[in-house]
Amino acid sequence: MTAVQPWSAAELAAWSNPRLAEVEAALSRWVGVQAPAGLGEAMRYSVLDGGKRLRPLLVLAASEAVQPLADAGARAGQTEAALRAACAVELIHAYSLVHDDLPCMDNDVLRRGKPTAHVQFGEAEALLAGDALQALAFELLVPDATNIPAAVQARLARLLAQAAGSQGMAGGQAIDLKSVGLRLDEAQLQQMHRLKTGALLQGSVQMGAACAGELPQAAVAALSDYGAALGLAFQVVDDILDVVADSQTLGKTVGKDAAADKPTYVSLLGLDGARARARALLDQALQALARSELPDTHALRALAHMVVDRDR
């Protein structure tokens, strides 16, 4: 095997920009449009024009990486399935932020450089907007009258439900709640983050792969390992940025983990140790891609680099 030349930042941008535009347009078309006025506005405010859209890009990159292996039945609907899955994971992410920002949770007032949803619309409206966004995420995955095979639809819904629920994101948030002021060891911290942020990032990769229908098990497993390593790396970098970035760059309140006495990778490993851990996880992710034996994983590789090298 010859070494694969990684993409430059410009090459990643050339790949991601048209895809980001497509996701943004789809979200704008699908979110809150036919909802009662106040609710629709809160849903759109919480989703549109904000965020890095990392999860949608992971869905699209994974779907494109497995496209050469797509089964015949799934091929006609694969592009639509990937766009729907990309939007669905973003809606789950967006709803989790809305609920996480509520006064009974993190009580945050700033998100993506804007007032949080409950500051803008009130707590009750924000709560409902989050609930409606979760329902919409699933609705997007199971459209009527489509080329997406029902088996692909059902699998996408299954992966999303597992990633979002009590053994995924919501479970990780519950562990997080209970861990304030505790001294977690690294295994406990990792378990919390594997659920809280890792499950949805890994789920994004798995859902992207599922858009192509039945695939060789080895490729699916390798992509899943990639997603797990990337998901953990994301959280390690988040912990680093919470210490070193400023609020303006980050678009949200910084230093809040330390202020809330929450365990982080920085408090556990120190800043240098956390940085080394992020590099090691990046290597794991890239090795998993190599194991997948997929012909073109440029975008997935570039996204992993982006996760670790980002400054916000």
- Kindly tell me the number of DSSP H helices and DSSP E strands found in the chain: 16, 2
**What is the C-alpha to C-alpha distance for residues 284 and 2, in angstroms, rounded to an integer?**
19
Q: Which two tokens mark 147? A: 């080329």
Q: How many residues bind a copy of itself (CB under 8 A)?
A: 57
User: Using CA atoms, how far apart are residues 288 and 237, in angstroms rounded to an integer?
Assistant: 20
Q: Which C-beta is closer to a copy of itself: that of 3 or that of 72? A: 72
Does residue 160 touch a copy of itself according to CB under 8 A?
Answer: yes
- Any idea what the Cα angle at residue 135 is, between residues 176 and 102, rounded to 5°? 40
Q: Which of 19, 55, 155, 301 binds a copy of itself (CB under 8 A)?
A: 155
Q: What minimum distance in Å lies between the beta carbon of 39 and a copy of itself?
A: 4
For the bound state, the minimum distance from the C-beta of residue 144 to a copy of itself, rounded and expressed in Å, comes to 6
Is position 73 an interface residue for a copy of itself (rule: CB under 8 A)? no
Find the farthest-apart pair of alpha carbons in the chain and give their distance in angstroms, rounded.
Answer: 57
Give the pair of three-digit tokens for residue 59.
């869905």
Residue 167 or 247 having the CB closest to a copy of itself: 167
Q: What is the footprint of a copy of itself within residues 186-245 (CB under 8 A)?
A: 195
Cβ-contact 239, 189 below 8 angstroms: no
Q: Residue 209 and residue 15: Cα distance in Å, rounded? A: 18
> Using CB under 8 A, which of 20, 48, 110, 175 touches a copy of itself?
175
DSSP string, 111-160: ETTEE-HHHHH-HHHHHHHHHHHHHHHHHHHS-SS-SS-HHHHHHHHHHH
- Interface with a copy of itself, residue 76, by CB under 8 A: no
Q: Which of 26, 47, 54, 127 binds a copy of itself (CB under 8 A)?
A: 127
Q: Which helix (H) or strand (E) holds 110?
A: strand 110-111
Residues 29-48 that bind a copy of itself (CB under 8 A): 32, 34-36, 38-40, 43
Q: Binding residue for a copy of itself (CB under 8 A) from 46, 63, 67, 173?
A: 173
150 binds a copy of itself (CB under 8 A): yes
By CB under 8 A, which span of 135-143, 218-226, 281-289, 293-301 interacts with a copy of itself?
135-143
Say if CB 217 and CB 291 are below 8 A apart: no
Tell me which residues touch a copy of itself (CB under 8 A). Answer: 32, 34-36, 38-40, 43, 95-96, 99, 102-105, 122-125, 127-128, 130-132, 134-136, 138-139, 141-144, 149-151, 153-155, 157-158, 160-162, 164-168, 170-171, 173-175, 177-178, 195
